[in-house]
Chains A and B, each alone.
Chain A
């Protein structure tokens, strides 16, 4: 397990944007009955989701979040030396979306820009990279953009995934901060579980073809998808989370020498209410210390942790707090971090 720590670096601002287009899961019944929808809502805790309208990409949601953040911080753009875009729903296969964002946001040509392709663990991985760059000394400020249009990845005719995913984008500014103490990260990956959450075709291993675009019935329940839709084996994922995540978090706490009681808030990836409720129970955490946004936004992959911070902790973070973040999913990939929040500006959630 990779453990790293950084001194006197923090998130100085965090903004989030979601599409205004709100989907009510209880009436998401084009392919499934109301009874089935109601049952899924009850078990997953996902009542609403936001779907980006046609033509709006993950990067557009990030632009909206970034503009709000830049305005709010009255930031001199020339101080931002790197721009990172975390997503698995980029604008194009090439060039990297981060480079398009450099231009769209009006950053100068001396800005380093690159993409990171990770799912649910992506925001915490992105923070680790941003903290490393700032720690390195040459990068004064780093803008971490993280966006997903996960609603477009899965088949609306596959009940295993049709009701779960939503869209959103965030922007976080990382820089030196003398008030921030030490931040701790632990990161892991397990490619032997690549087929737990996957999209089989459309890359270079199995290129896109007429065959891969054909919808077909994939199981005895009559779920329908193509090879270019994502799929998820829920029981395998649940098993993975139970066996890896509590020990990963406990390992991080012991590496940091911090007790669970000293953490003000635990931010788990918002996959479904059932899994997070179980994690809370298993780890014996007070439920009021674990904010949730799954009810309103569904699973937005890497965006879910920062979206939960912006939508649930905007007021609380006006005072100094210590947060523990834990993202886990597609890969399988996971990352947890203990972060002091000291002077973090959080503008109200933007709707696009």
Chain B
């Protein structure tokens, strides 16, 4: 599950030289601009049927936190 998420996230943010890890910090990525953020919101909606709350989306920093937010939104 989480491996697929990491691959999807990497592709969505258009990182080509490596695959993102759970410990990566989104905000320190050069690619993490507002358009990349829209793409991630769309990807999560498409793949997981979840529109993450804007406040939650803004509060996450590491990939792990984003993954946790998706999981907790799915279970609620």
Contacts and interface: CB of A to CB of B under 8 A. Distances in A.
Nearest to A43: B35
A274 B38 contact: yes
B57 A235 contact: yes
A160 B35 CA distance: 10
Interface in B3-22: none
Which residue, A160, A239, A240, has most C-beta atoms of chain B within 10 A?
A239
Contacts of A278: 42
Interface residues of B, number: 14
Given A235-B54, A235-B57, A239-B53, A282 B45 contact: yes
Q: Is the interface of A mostly helix, strand, loop or mixed?
A: helix
Interface residues of A, number: 16
A234 B34 contact: yes
A274 B35 CA distance: 9
Interface string B35-66: 10110011001100001111001100000000
A239 B51 contact: yes
A243 interface: yes
Interface of B: 34-35, 37-38, 41-42, 45-46, 51-54, 57-58
Interface of A: 43, 160, 233-236, 238-240, 242-243, 274-275, 278, 281-282
Q: Considering the complex of A and B, which 10 residue pairs feature the smallest CB-CB distances, nearest first? A: A243-B51, A236-B54, A239-B54, A235-B37, A242-B51, A43-B35, A238-B38, A234-B34, A278-B42, A242-B45
17 contacts: A160-B34, A233-B54, A234-B34, A234-B38, A235-B37, A235-B54, A235-B58, A238-B38, A238-B41, A238-B42, A239-B51, A239-B52, A239-B53, A239-B57, A242-B42, A242-B45, A282-B46
